Amino acid sequence: MRSARPKVLHRLAGLPLIEHVVRAADRLRPGRLGLVVGHQAERVEAALSHRAPLAFARQDEQRGTGHALQQAEPLFAGVGGTLVVLSGDVPLIHPDTLERLVRAHEGANAAMTVLTATVPRPYGYGRIVRADGRLARIVEERDASASQRRLKEINSGIYALDLPPLFDAIREIPPAGASNEIYLPDLVRIYRGRGLPVETAEVADPDEVRGINSQTELAEVKRIVRQTRNEELMAAGVTIEDPATTYVDMDVTVGSDTVIHPGVFLQGRTSVGARCELHAGVRIVDSTIGDDVTVRNHCVIQGATLAHRVQVGPFAHLRPGAVIGEAAKVGNFVEIKESSLGQGSKANHLSYLGDATIGEGVNVGAGTITCNYDGKRSTRRRSATGCSSAAAHQLVAR
C-alpha cells in the first residue's frame, strides 16, 4: 500500500477493511470470533476495541498463513465444529457465501473445504489443480508451471476447516523458503495423505474474493462498493442522478423519494429522511436530516440535526452541534456551530452563529455574527422568539 497505515485499516465506504470482514463473519453467529494481528497490531486492536467479544492473537513474526492460524490455537482450544478462516483484506465477501461454504463443508463431512473462484486474470493467486475433478493440490503462482499458470480457478484464501484435526495437521506442514513460512494451502496435501476428504466450493461472484494489495486495487473495490450501495438505494426508491459520482457510506440511511444530485458525499452514521433533495457538491457527515429537506449546492453538514422542511444553502456550513428547527432556513454563506435555530427562523445571508440559542420565528439579518469568546471562555448567547436583527450586527454574549 506504500502507507504508514496498516492495510486492514484503510477505509472503504466509511469503514476499515477489517470491519467489513468482521461484519460478514458476525452474520454467521459464530460461537467464537478471533483475529490474528501482526503488523502494527496495537493500532488494529484499538480500531476494533468496540467489538467485544472479539478475541485477538498476535503473530509477532510474519511467517505465512499457516503460522498465523497457529497463533489462534489458544482461542479455539477444546472447541469442536467448523472454523471459517478469512483474510482481513478481502472486504467484499458476503455472509451468504460463507453460509454456503459452511453448508457444503459440513454436508460433505470434509476436513477442509476451499472457497475457489474462476477469474479471467488469475495472476498472483494460487491455482486449483484438479485430478478427476477433485482438488489435488494448490500451487502458488511462483511455483506454478506454464500450464498451471493458465488455469483460471484460484484459491480465495478462505477456508472451512474441521477443528479437531486442524492444529495437529498444521504442525506437519514443513517450513518453506528463507523465512521459514508455513503455508495453509499445504493442508491439502497433509489431509489427502491422511485419507481425509478435502472439498471445494466456488463463489458465484469472483469480486467477492478480491484481495487488496495496492492503492489501485483499493480504488477498484471502492468503485464496486459505491455501485452496489447506490443500486441498493435506488431499489428502495431513492433517485440518484449520477451513481458514478455519488458516495454513500455503509452505515448511511436514505428515505424514499429523496433525490441525490451529482457529487454528493453521505458519510459516517448519517440519516436522510424521505422526499429530500440534495444538490450537487453536498457533503453530509454523522448528521440527521428530517423529511422534505432541501440542501442546495456546496454545503457541508457535520454532526448536525435538521428537522423536517428545513432549507439549507447554497454554500452553508453546519458544524457539530447545530440544531435546525422545523421549516427554518439557513441561507448562503451562513455558518452555525453548537447552536439551535428555532422553528421557522431564518438566517439568510453571510452570518456566523456560534454557541447561540435562537428562538422561533427569528429573522437573523445579513452579516450578523455572535461574539461569545473573550479569549478564555465561550459564553452562550440567547435570542428571544419572534424578533429580528438588522444587517451587519454583532451580538455580544455577556
Q: Which one-letter amino acid corresponds to residue 130?
A: R
Angle at 87 between CA 181 and CA 165, to 5 degrees: 65
How are beta strands 253-254 and 277-278 bridged, if at all?
Answer: unpaired
In 3D space, the residue among 19, 18, 163, 162 whose CA is nearest the CA of residue 77 turns out to be: 163
Note whether 217 and 211 are within 8 A (CB). Answer: yes
Contact 85, 67 (CB under 8 A): no
Q: Cα-flanking dihedrals φ and ψ of residue 226, to 5°?
A: -60, -45
Backbone angles phi, psi at 358, to 5 degrees: -105, 125
* CA separation for the pair 387, 15 (Å, rounded): 45
How far is Cα 279 from Cα 262, in angstroms, rounded to an integer?
7
Residue 349 is among the residues annotated as catalytic for this protein: yes
- For 126, the grid coordinates are 494460487
Of 296, 300, 392, 395, residue with least CA distance to 350? 392
In 124-246, DSSP assigns E strands to 127-131, 134-139, 153-162, 198-202, 239-240
Q: Of 94, 308, 349, 393, which one is the catalytic site residue? A: 349
CA dist., res. 8 & res. 39, Å (int): 10
Residues 6+ apart with CB under 8 A from 341: 322, 323, 324, 325, 328, 330, 347, 353, 358, 362, 364
Measured distance CA(72)–CA(358) in Å, rounded: 57
Q: Which residues are designated catalytic? A: 349
